[in-house]
Amino acid sequence: MHEIVSNLISQNCEGLWWDFKQKFHDNPYDLLHDIICLSNVIHNGDRYLIFGISDKLHVVGLEPVNKNYTQADILDLLGRQPFAENNVPKINLKFIKYQDKDIAILTISNERVKPYFLTKEIKLKGTFLRAGAIYSRVKDTNTPKDSCANPRDIKAMWAENFGLDLPASKRFGFILEDADNWIYNGINSAFYAPDPDFTIEIGDTESECGQYWWQNSLSEKPIKYNYFLKFKNTIINEVPVVNFQNEKLLIPFPDIEFITYPDKRDGLNANIYCDLFYFKKGTLEYSLFLHIRKMESDTPSFNTPITSQIKPPIIELPFYIVSCDEQLNKLKIHILNLFKEFVQNQENIVKDSIYEGNVTERYQLERVFCEWAFEMQLKNINGSIGWK
């Protein structure tokens, strides 16, 4: 954070995606306006509101009486506003010492859900923000509260929102998630109605079963085939999909981290594989996961464990959903620690499992570990990993 502040002050000006304030706003709606303006700028990176810096870019610091906002206050302010489609800017507030002065940095994350705007007019102490008005910045100047951003910037926001600024390979993820506009022929293909150049072709069955416990030790063994994602009849990507036909459970093949295995010289002396199965948000596989589940149900579930959506589930797949590499790395460490605990207490854990101690093959034991580890992690959902 110190380096970010130094770099921005060294610019000797305010800019498109950063702004300086001598103190926190007296009127919270002025703060809200600043946040919306910064959130809507077209910039591939975080945006910053830095408090404790004067108009002349001197580091004056915040007096105790001026530290009148906390992150919880700002989150509450944002959460109470009538944002369109409930898209609320993501923020993080930190107080640091800089040049022996107390300053605060409000970081606003870059999200491809622009434009942020309100669906109802709000007013407080003479400050009002208009319904439907799209606020942004031009260079270092906010859109006035009684005005609207220029049409060129608004067009760029919507283009980003719909992925129109991306090449076809990147746009496919956004288009898949717009499941309502896909038309299937009922057999093995589909096209995207707003742009029929985007199509899906479903391949023939390639295999049954596999090398992982969830392909071998459940009530049925899935088949695997491929979804061919095409643009103008050119294959953009090929995504393997598994289908539990009787259970009517269809999902893309998950990503896998091989945490440890029997022949690894790590001192665990384990006789099973410790694998982590997951989907990462922002990937094509995750977009296809959302697409399939939206196509299956009017009220889709995107949580894990993953189960059938159209009948009482028999199969539960304890696959994780992560938002970023940082979460994934924390989860890998946590799963390894759970695996060590499992190795030490294997007999008791197996006794409490679905097999009641009667495990006859490796796949069954790996299933017991994965389901037990998932349950343990579920209890830690409010902890530091935050995988769900």
What's the pLDDT tens digit per position in 184-204? 998 999 999 999 999 999 999
Computed over every residue of the chain, the mean pLDDT equals 92
Asked whether residue 386 is assigned to any structural domain, the reply reads: no
Range 143-158 average pLDDT? 96
List, in sequence order, the alpha helices (H) in the chain.
2-9, 28-40, 71-79, 151-161, 168-177, 284-296, 325-344, 346-351, 362-379
User: Do 108 and 253 sit in the same domain of this protein?
Assistant: no
* Per-residue confidence band for 382, with pLDDT thresholds at 50, 70 and 90: very low
Peptide bond before 305: cis, by omega within 30 degrees of 0? yes
Q: What is the CATH number of the domain that holds 120?
A: 3.30.950
The confidence score (pLDDT) of residue 81 equals 97
The confidence score (pLDDT) of residue 384 equals 41
The confidence score (pLDDT) of residue 386 equals 43
Higher pLDDT among residues 64 and 265, named by residue? 64
- Please provide the distance, in angstroms rounded to a whole number, between the alpha carbons at the two ends of the chain: 27
What is the pTM assigned to this prediction?
0.72
Provide the token pair at 242. Answer: 């598994």
The confidence score (pLDDT) of residue 258 equals 93
- Quote the CA–CA distance of 184 and 165 in Å, as a whole number: 26
- Quote the CA–CA distance of 80 and 91 in Å, as a whole number: 15
Is 205:199 a contact under the CB 8 Å cutoff? no
Is 225:244 a contact under the CB 8 Å cutoff? no
Percentage with pLDDT > 70 across the chain: 98
Give me the domain span that covers residue 297.
Answer: 168-379
User: Do 149 and 173 sit in the same domain of this protein?
Assistant: no
Phi and psi angles of residue 69, each rounded to the nearest 5 degrees, phi first? -125, 145
Domain count, the chain: 2
Range 167-193 average pLDDT? 94
Asked whether residue 295 is assigned to any structural domain, the reply reads: yes
User: Do 218 and 310 sit in the same domain of this protein?
Assistant: yes
Is 291:182 a contact under the CB 8 Å cutoff? yes
User: Do 22 and 48 sit in the same domain of this protein?
Assistant: yes
Q: Is 90 exceeded by the pLDDT of residue 68? A: no
Burial pattern 69-94, b for ≥16 Cβ within 10 A else e, equals: beeeebeebbeebebeeeebbebebe
Range 42-46 average pLDDT? 94
What's the pLDDT tens digit per position in 107-132? 999 999 999 999 999 999 889 999 99
Is 376:338 a contact under the CB 8 Å cutoff? yes
User: Do 10 and 61 sit in the same domain of this protein?
Assistant: yes
User: Do 178 and 235 sit in the same domain of this protein?
Assistant: yes
Q: Is 50 exceeded by the pLDDT of residue 383? A: no
